[in-house]
């Protein structure tokens, strides 16, 4: 087979992958923000939360230019997954693949610009283990793409060469990240049922402080109706350990407040006016904003 025929075959195969995904792709418009999205189930579209306005009307534009109103079924800032309710008649839901791509393999991001399908070809530059986002969301695998992605194409589908949709492409710090299918299925399922993903809640405002033997978190404010107040923690206390482990910082503490933490009992050690004290605290559920 000649080089030209190899390239032609590859080009045709990639075009076919894009064509199969196109019926599931939509544009999402909210205030002055634009994003892409895809039909997850009948009546439900998944898009990138960070590319969605905090308030105002939302609409979905189809490839033929048709606009349909949408409403928020739920959104999770920590995993960048938002779920919209919209009339998806005439659109095909796309089955997600939980198979992760191989490092160095080709990947195609299929998105939309003002309703028109768009595609970008790149390579899988990193495949790693489960991780937590800066906002504390649990992401099932770390996948990065070497591909250009505009803001309006966030929420597009990342496809492997066989057409398997292994996740949603979003903009991360200095790189394009993929929210993997396993994370989308888990989070979108909770959003569909409950409208939100439960997060742990201490009811504290914290400020990092340096101690002689490490780091601590000073309690700057206390929600009087929150779990910390019920446990006996007061403003001015300095948290020094969590479940008998030295505190490594406020961010690490907040990351421990994932969905699985709600209802669990933890030992919290504090310094109060130079005296050590220990409390048993039952982690609550963060109230809706």
Instruction: Give this prediction's pTM.
Output: 0.80
Which CATH code for domain 1-197? 2.40.10.120
The C-alpha atoms of residue 289 and residue 283 are separated, in whole angstroms, by 18
Measuring CA to CA, how many Å separate 208 from each of 61, 88, 226?
A: 45, 47, 20
Taking alpha carbons only, the member of 153, 22, 148, 170 closest to residue 91 is 22
Domain 200-285, what architecture? Answer: Roll (2.30)
Longest dimension (CA), the chain: 79
Taking alpha carbons only, the member of 41, 258, 82 closest to residue 168 is 82
The C-alpha atoms of residue 73 and residue 197 are separated, in whole angstroms, by 12
The C-alpha atoms of residue 247 and residue 243 are separated, in whole angstroms, by 9
Task: Say yes or no: do domains 1-197 and 200-285 share a fold.
Answer: no
pLDDT tens for the chain, 289 residues long, are 666 788 888 889 899 999 999 999 999 999 889 999 999 999 999 999 999 998 899 999 987 888 999 999 999 998 999 999 999 998 889 899 999 999 999 999 999 987 788 999 999 999 999 998 877 788 999 999 999 999 999 999 999 999 999 999 999 988 999 999 999 999 999 999 988 888 889 999 999 998 888 889 999 999 999 999 999 999 999 999 999 899 888 877 877 887 778 899 999 999 998 899 999 999 998 887 5
Domain ranges of the chain: 1-197, 200-285
């Amino acid at each position: 087979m000649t080089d030209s025929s190899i390239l032609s075959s590859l080009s045709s195969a990639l075009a076919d992958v894009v064509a199969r995904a196109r019926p599931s792709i939509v544009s999402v418009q909210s205030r002055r923000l634009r994003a892409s999205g895809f039909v997850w189930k009948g009546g439900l579209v998944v898009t990138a939360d960070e590319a969605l306005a905090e308030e105002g009307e939302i609409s979905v534009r189809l490839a033929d230019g048709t606009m349909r109103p949408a409403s928020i079924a739920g959104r999770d800032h920590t995993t960048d997954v938002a779920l919209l309710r919209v009339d998806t008649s005439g659109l095909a839901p796309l089955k997600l693949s939980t198979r992760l791509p191989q490092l160095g393999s080709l990947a195609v991001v299929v998105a939309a610009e003002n309703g028109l399908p768009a595609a970008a070809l790149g390579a899988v530059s990193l495949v790693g283990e489960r991780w937590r986002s800066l906002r504390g969301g649990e992401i099932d695998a770390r996948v990065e793409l070497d591909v250009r992605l505009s803001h309006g194409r966030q929420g597009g589908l990342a496809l492997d060469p066989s057409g398997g949709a292994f996740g949603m492409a979003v903009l991360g710090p200095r790189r394009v990240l993929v929210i993997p299918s396993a994370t989308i299925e888990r989070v979108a399922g909770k959003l569909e049922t409950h409208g939100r993903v439960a997060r742990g809640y201490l009811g504290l405002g914290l400020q990092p402080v340096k101690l002689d033997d490490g780091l601590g978190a000073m309690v700057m404010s206390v929600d009087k109706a929150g779990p910390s107040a019920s446990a006996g923690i007061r403003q001015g206390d300095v948290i020094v350990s969590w479940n008998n482990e030295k505190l490594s910082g406020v961010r690490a503490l907040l990351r421990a407040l994932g969905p699985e933490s709600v209802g669990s009992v933890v030992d919290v050690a504090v310094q109060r006016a130079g005296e050590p004290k220990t409390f048993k605290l039952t982690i609550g559920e963060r109230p809706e904003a």
